[in-house]
Amino acid sequence: MEQIRIHGRGGQGVVTAAELIALAAFYDGHEAQAFPNFGVERSGAPIQSFARIDNQAIITREQIYEPSVLIIQDSTLIGNVDVFQGISKKTKIIINATKNNWSHLHLKSKHLYFSPATEIALKILGKNIVNTVILGALVKYTGLISLKSLEKAVQTKFANKGTEIIKKNIAALKMIDKI
């Protein structure tokens, strides 16, 4: 079972990111689950969300304490929140950042990836909602979900937001290859 934990702040699309992962995994033919851990209900508050992918029905509902994939949507959380809790040598970590500034943390995992998601999101979406950009990185670095299914997930999830938003977010999914 793949267990994905996402850290970010309220307003950055953290909950939606986990939902998009579950939707895409389901469209790929897997069993999937996504759920949030809301903090206080306000923008900027640290927030987590979780997604699980498996080939058999997922029944556990505990939060994810030993992630196989860790996504950090807001690097200012590092040092303030224990975002690296439960990582192992194998955990793949994707951080919204321009470069590796965390060698001093001596992380167990060597699978560290970076995506300048804020920069890209501001350019494409005009807002610091980095989830779709960083999910593009998830596809590229983990292969857990297909880009095609992720596009379909964006279309489904953002159906009420209009074609313009859908188009921009699908473009955002593909930006990782253009860096």
Partner 1 sequence: MISKNKKQILEGSNAIALTIKNIAPAVVSAFPITPQTHIVEDLAKMKADGLASFEYIRAESEFAAASIVLGASATGVRVYSATSSQGLLLMTEVVFNIAGMRLPVVMTVANRSVSAPINIWNDHGDAMAVRDAGWIKFFASNHQESVNQHILAYKIAEKLQLPVMINVDGFILTHSYEPVIIPDDKTIKKYLPVYQPPTGTYLDPKNPVTLGAFFGPNNYLETRQMLHEDLMSSLEIIKEEYKLLNKTLANQGANHQRQKLSRIDNGLIEYYGPQKPKTILIAMGSVIGTILETIKNFKDVGLLKIKVYRPFPAEEIVKIIKPAQNIAVLEKAISLGQSGPLYADLAATVMASKIKKNLNLKNYIVGLGGRDITQKMIKEIIKDAPQKNNYLKFIGKI
Contacts with partner 1, residue ranges (CB under 8 A): 15, 19, 22-23, 26, 31-38, 41, 56-63, 65
Q: What are phi and psi of 118, to 5 degrees?
A: -60, -50
Nearer to partner 1, 62 or 178 (CB): 62
Task: Supply the Cα-derived Rg of the chain in whole angstroms.
Answer: 15
For residue 112, CA distances in Å to 15, 50, 71, 168, 169 come to 22, 19, 10, 27, 24
Question: What is the closest distance, in whole angstroms, from the C-beta atom of residue 163 to partner 1 in the complex?
Answer: 18
Residue with tokens 């909950």: 15
Token representation of residue 60: 């556990």
Question: What is the closest distance, in whole angstroms, from the C-beta atom of residue 143 to partner 1 in the complex?
Answer: 20
Nearest-CA neighbor of 168 among 150, 149, 154, 156? Answer: 154
Question: What is the closest distance, in whole angstroms, from the C-beta atom of residue 169 to partner 1 in the complex?
Answer: 18
Q: Which amino acid is at 151?
A: E
Question: What is the closest distance, in whole angstroms, from the C-beta atom of residue 129 to partner 1 in the complex?
Answer: 19
Token representation of residue 65: 């304490």
What is the distance between the alpha carbons of residues 114 and 73, in angstroms, rounded to a whole number? 10
Question: What is the closest distance, in whole angstroms, from the C-beta atom of residue 4 to partner 1 in the complex?
Answer: 13
